[in-house]
Amino acid sequence: MVKTMGILLSSDTLTNIRFPNLGIELKNVPTGFDIFGFRIAFYGVVIGLGMLLGWLMAEWIAKKTGQDTELYLDFALIAIVVSVIFTRLGYVVFSWDEFADNPLEIFNLRSGGLMIYGGIIGAILTAIIFCRVKKYSFWLLADTGCIGLITGQILGRWGNFFNREAFGKYTDGLFAMQLNIKDVSYDYRMPVVNLMEKYKGKETAFNRIMEIRNNTVWVDGAEYIQVHPTFLYESLWNLGLLIILIIFTKHKKVDGEVFLLYLAGYGLGRIWIEGLRTDQLFLWGTAIPISQLISAVMILLSVIMIIYRRSKLKKVR
What are the boundaries of each domain within the chain?
A: 2-36+169-227, 41-162+229-316
| pLDDT surpassing 70 at residue 14 | no
Cβ atoms within 10 Å of 296's Cβ, excluding its own: 14
Query: Is the pLDDT assigned to residue 70 strictly greater than 50?
Result: yes
Once rounded to an integer, what is the mean pLDDT over residues 116-126?
94
Measure the CA angle with vertex 94, ends 29 and 226; round to 5°: 35
- Give the number of other Cβ atoms within 10 Å of residue 90's Cβ: 24
How many whole angstroms separate alpha carbon 130 and alpha carbon 132?
A: 6
Report the distance separating Cα 103 and Cα 106, nearest Å.
6
Q: What is the DSSP letter of 244?
A: H
Does 6 score more than 60 pLDDT?
no
What is the residue type of 107? F
Rounded to whole angstroms, the Cα distance separating 228 from 52 reads 28
Element (H, E) at 19: strand 15-19
At residue 80's C-alpha, the angle toward residues 244 and 110, to 5°, is 105
Among 9-23, 53-67, 271-285, 287-301, the range scoring the smallest mean pLDDT is 9-23
Q: Which of 127-141, 161-175, 302-316 has the lowest mean pLDDT?
A: 302-316
What angle (nearest 5°) sits at the alpha carbon of residue 11, between those of residues 158 and 98? 55
- Residues with Cβ < 8 Å from 278, sequence gap 6 or more? 167, 168, 169, 187, 205, 208, 209, 212, 227
The pLDDT confidence band at residue 102, using thresholds 50, 70 and 90, is confident
> What does the alpha-carbon distance between residue 317 and residue 312 come to, in Å, rounded to a whole number?
9
Contact status, residue 2 vs residue 9, Cβ threshold 8 Å: yes
Q: Are strands 217-219 and 2-4 parallel, antiparallel or unpaired?
A: unpaired
Q: How confident is the model at residue 2 (pLDDT cuts 50, 70, 90)?
A: very low
Q: What pLDDT does 67 receive? A: 94
277: exposed, middle or buried (Cβ count in 10 Å: 0-12, 13-18, 19+): buried
Short-list 68, 46, 51, CA closest to 59: 68
Condensed to tens digits (0 to 9), the pLDDT of residues 253-304 reads: 899 999 999 999 999 999 999 999 988 888 888 888 999 999 999 999 999 9
Main-chain dihedrals φ then ψ at residue 58, nearest 5 degrees: -65, -40
**Mean pLDDT of all residues in the chain?**
90
> In degrees, to the nearest 5, what angle opens at C-alpha 185 toward C-alphas 22 and 97?
145
| DSSP label at residue 39 | E
pLDDT score at 171: 97
Cα dihedral 299, 305, 310, 314 sign: positive
